[in-house]
Chain A
Amino acid sequence: MAVENTQELLLNMGPQHPSMHGVFRMVVNLEGETVTKIDPKLGYLHRGLEKLAESRTYSQFIPYTDRLDYLASPHNNWAYVQTVEKLMGVEIPERAEYLRVIFGELARIASHQVMIASTALDIAGWTAWSYAFRDRERILDMYEMTAGSRLTVNIMRIGGISAEPPAEFWPALKAFLDDTPEMLEEYYGIFLGNEITQGRLKNIGILSKELAENLSITGPVLRASGVNYDVRKAAPYSIYDRFDFNVPVRTGCDSYDRTLIRMDEIVESIKIIKQAVRDIPEGPIMAKVPKVIKPPVGEVYHRVENPKGELGFYIVSDGTTKPSRVRIRPGTFINIQMLPIVALGWKIQDVVAIFATLDAVLGEVDK
């Protein structure tokens, strides 16, 4: 047999492929089932959010931020409104800060649940997928009670938060927090504790500490590679300096630790929410901000710890009601760089799993 007659199989995965999250596309070279080259193609969901911002007023742009990382929309609202508040120098009421933390951490839990679910689904763990979505439903219900919508919540406002949670919100939140340990045990039992799962994820897709730092990876992916970096601790924003919580760090650098660290983060988020519920003061939920928002001339950058990585907003104001320039620094867009480097040499099944553990949301990647 003439070996030189063989050729690599060029396989186009996506944008319509069952395991591609959203409309991600990658062109893969295969040698048998082993991947020799990955070429990610982005932009299928590009809506030009940064340009859109220039023709919207500051308040009008808040709902657009929902569409960035749509699995954790309160975080995007939060990052944006805080940036504008920083630019204007607005102090927001205590109660609003606490509510923001509660909704932000709920969003983090919901986002991590989706991550666990979709990772399970990408290695065909159907039941784990529906368990995680079943529990996420309760968080969406709490969003709905307060803000009226479930996915793109649009809950933050410049100067505070849009609505006071209704009376039934607090018992629902308490019940959810109490059920969490059991629900994490369930995920572990059906998914992460399973031997086949561990065979699929352990020691797969090693992202070394050096590589992670050089690629400026952020979020849980970075912390699973043994780097202790969390914006909530490194540059505390809002009222995160008041809470007692740990930043989970794992040193496995593999797909398994990238999944497991989400479970750890859910535990920490629960801790934060419990403290916030305990300490929350009475009071107004909106600061006194002018009806027409006109920040002074200047520029500002602000970043928050989104469930998927560091989310930053850079706004240039020319003193009018509309921003002159908005630049978004999305976490997963930068995290996704690791895929063509880390996934080389693995089987195509592993590449699917590695991509799942990145937890990319295409709304954020393509903006």
Chain B
Amino acid sequence: METLNNLFLIIAAAIRSLFADPHSVWANLTMDVINFIIVVVIIVLAALILILLERKIAGWTSQRTGPNRLGPRGWFQTIADALKLMGKEDITPAGADKFIFKVAPMIVFSLPMMTLAVIPYGNGMAPINLDLGIFYFLAISAISTVAFLMAGWGSNNKYSLLGGMRAVAQMISYEIPLLFSLLGVVMITQSFNLGTIVEAQKTIPFIILQPLAFVIYIIAGLAEVNRAPFDLVEADQEVVAGPFTEYTGLRWGLFFLGEYGNMTAVSALAATVFLGGWQGPMFLPGWVWFWLKVGIIIFFMMWVRWTFPRIRVDHLMHLAWKVLLPLSILNIFLTGFGIYIYRFVMGG
């Protein structure tokens, strides 16, 4: 079990030992490249699995079958769809701002790569162990707003523009409660480092200490990754496909990958900060626990998407500024009081 638990660390050590000096610049560089590839593989695999899972869950929720033609129980459907996307003609609209139009999907896709790089997937298994982990994560994920606006503006399409403007309004509003909801945990652990935060949850996950923060995080997280009921950015009944309207083929596929990558990243952060990350009873390796927890949160997000209708623009703003923001500030106060009482009782 110990071997299985540290499987990836052992592999990493084995690769390093191939070099004369296991901590030379070249060894570090090789490891960085391998880590990078692993993160990309995680995103692509996650997207492949999640798209199929989403369609299956959609089917189950609405009493349909979902894809079931290709491969056993339709498991190869996404691969076929991805191949089809590659064969599509790549169209850039004549009136588009070509540079912005082409750069936007790349930015959207690169963001989850950057955010997923700081997540500890197991004990000591963070590709990059940053001391400012949470801070970095939130700063990077906020950039996606710019990418959506670039796509919306660059397409030179009215629907895209409406969608892009919605993205800005929505994501900036939800950035704040999202950030504040994580502050309570940071106050308790006195650290921005995700590894330290997971270590601190050895006995008790923070969802028990910070239930309100968890709820706020999940709601704001749904809005942050544009999932229903907050999918106003790509609301097809109103703005056709929002910023993605003019995209075709692989460029559109990159948006899709980025979207599912973002969803994985937000769920991974929730699992790390609130559900104890890779901590869990020892009958399963830590990294399995981690992905189980991520899976549960993703399942919840999909369940919500196929159950709730879409919220209205002004209700969305109302919820962010008048409900979630005060609640998250209240949570910070309560956490502060709690810490003082705890210290007083413990005699610290």
Tell me the complex Cα distance, A126–B307, Å.
7
Contacts of B228 in A (CB 8 A): 124
Q: B116 at the A/B interface (Cβ < 8 Å)?
A: no
Q: Judging by beta carbons under 8 Å apart, are A126 and B237 in contact?
A: no
**A4: min CB distance to chain B, Å:** 21
Main secondary structure of the interface of B (DSSP, over half): loop
**B308-332 interface code vs A (CB 8 A; 1 in, 0 out):** 1111111100000000000000000
Q: Judging by beta carbons under 8 Å apart, are A124 and B240 in contact?
A: no
Q: B202 at the A/B interface (Cβ < 8 Å)?
A: no
**B154-167 interface code vs A (CB 8 A; 1 in, 0 out):** 00001101100000
**A11-52 interface code vs B (CB 8 A; 1 in, 0 out):** 100000111000000000010010000000000000000000
Tell me the complex Cα distance, A9–B165, Å.
13
Q: B131 at the A/B interface (Cβ < 8 Å)?
A: no
Q: B58 at the A/B interface (Cβ < 8 Å)?
A: yes
Main secondary structure of the interface of A (DSSP, over half): helix
Q: Judging by beta carbons under 8 Å apart, are A120 and B238 in contact?
A: no
Give residues 332-349 of A contacting B (CB, 8 Å): 347-349
Contacts of A128 in B (CB 8 A): 309
Q: Judging by beta carbons under 8 Å apart, are A9 and B158 in contact?
A: yes
Contacts of A124 in B (CB 8 A): 228-229, 231, 235, 237, 309-310
Give residues 319-367 of A contacting B (CB, 8 Å): 347-350, 352
Q: B63 at the A/B interface (Cβ < 8 Å)?
A: yes
**B163: min CB distance to chain A, Å:** 11
Tell me the complex Cα distance, A197–B313, Å.
13
Contacts of B236 in A (CB 8 A): 18-19
Q: Judging by beta carbons under 8 Å apart, are A120 and B62 in contact?
A: no
**A200: min CB distance to chain B, Å:** 6
Q: Judging by beta carbons under 8 Å apart, are A349 and B158 in contact?
A: no
Q: Judging by beta carbons under 8 Å apart, are B312 and A19 in contact?
A: no
**A103: min CB distance to chain B, Å:** 26
Contacts of B309 in A (CB 8 A): 120, 123-125, 128, 191, 194, 196-197, 200
Q: Judging by beta carbons under 8 Å apart, are A127 and B307 in contact?
A: yes
Q: A66 at the A/B interface (Cβ < 8 Å)?
A: no
Q: Judging by beta carbons under 8 Å apart, are B314 and A196 in contact?
A: no
Q: Which of B58, B63, B235, B311 contacts A199 (CB 8 A)?
A: B311
Q: B75 at the A/B interface (Cβ < 8 Å)?
A: no
Contacts of B61 in A (CB 8 A): 127
Q: A238 at the A/B interface (Cβ < 8 Å)?
A: no
Q: Judging by beta carbons under 8 Å apart, are B306 and A19 in contact?
A: no
Which chain A residue has the least Cβ–Cβ distance from B166? A33
Tell me the complex Cα distance, A124–B308, Å.
8
**A169: min CB distance to chain B, Å:** 24
Q: Which of A11, A126, A197, A349 contacts B62 (CB 8 A)?
A: A126
Which chain B residue has the least Cβ–Cβ distance from A200? B312
Q: Judging by beta carbons under 8 Å apart, are A352 and B158 in contact?
A: no
Q: A130 at the A/B interface (Cβ < 8 Å)?
A: yes
Contacts of A33 in B (CB 8 A): 162, 313
Q: B23 at the A/B interface (Cβ < 8 Å)?
A: no
Q: A121 at the A/B interface (Cβ < 8 Å)?
A: yes
Contacts of B310 in A (CB 8 A): 123-124, 196, 200, 349
Give residues 21-67 of B contacting A (CB, 8 Å): 58, 61-64
Contacts of B315 in A (CB 8 A): 196, 199
Tell me the complex Cα distance, A349–B316, Å.
13
Which chain A residue has the least Cβ–Cβ distance from B63? A134
Q: Which of B58, B62, B237, B311 contacts A196 (CB 8 A)?
A: B311
Give residues 194-238 of B contacting A (CB, 8 Å): 228-229, 231, 235-238
Contacts of A194 in B (CB 8 A): 308-309
**A11: min CB distance to chain B, Å:** 5
**A39: min CB distance to chain B, Å:** 16
**A187-229 interface code vs B (CB 8 A; 1 in, 0 out):** 0001100101101100000000000000000000000000000
Tell me the complex Cα distance, A130–B306, Å.
11
Q: Judging by beta carbons under 8 Å apart, are B62 and A122 in contact?
A: no
**B233: min CB distance to chain A, Å:** 12
Tell me the complex Cα distance, A120–B162, Å.
22
Which chain B residue has the least Cβ–Cβ distance from A122? B237
- Knowing A11-B158, A130-B63, the reply to whether A349 touches B312 (Cβ < 8 A) is yes
Q: A131 at the A/B interface (Cβ < 8 Å)?
A: yes
Q: Judging by beta carbons under 8 Å apart, are A349 and B63 in contact?
A: no
**A104-128 interface code vs B (CB 8 A; 1 in, 0 out):** 0000000000000000111111111
Tell me the complex Cα distance, A53–B161, Å.
46
Tell me the complex Cα distance, A307–B153, Å.
43
**A113: min CB distance to chain B, Å:** 14
Tell me the complex Cα distance, A122–B236, Å.
9
Give residues 135-161 of B contacting A (CB, 8 Å): 158-159, 161
**B214: min CB distance to chain A, Å:** 21
- Knowing A196-B311, A199-B311, A199-B315, the reply to whether A349 touches B235 (Cβ < 8 A) is yes
Contacts of A347 in B (CB 8 A): 312-314
Contacts of A11 in B (CB 8 A): 158-159, 162
Q: Which of A9, A127, A197, A349 contacts B306 (CB 8 A)?
A: A127
Q: Give 7 nearest A-B pairs by CB, closest first.
A: A130-B62, A124-B310, A19-B237, A125-B309, A123-B309, A127-B62, A18-B236
Binding site for A on B (CB under 8 A): 58, 61-64, 158-159, 161-162, 228-229, 231, 235-238, 240, 306-315
24 contacting pairs across A/B (C-beta < 8 A): A9-B162, A11-B162, A18-B236, A18-B240, A19-B237, A19-B238, A33-B313, A124-B237, A126-B58, A126-B306, A127-B61, A127-B62, A128-B309, A130-B62, A190-B307, A196-B311, A196-B315, A199-B315, A200-B309, A200-B310, A347-B314, A348-B238, A349-B237, A352-B237
Binding site for B on A (CB under 8 A): 9, 11, 17-19, 30, 33, 120-131, 134, 190-191, 194, 196-197, 199-200, 347-350, 352
Further pairs besides A19-B236, A121-B237, A196-B229: 11, Cβ < 8 Å: A30-B162, A124-B228, A124-B229, A126-B62, A130-B63, A131-B63, A134-B63, A194-B309, A196-B308, A196-B309, A352-B237
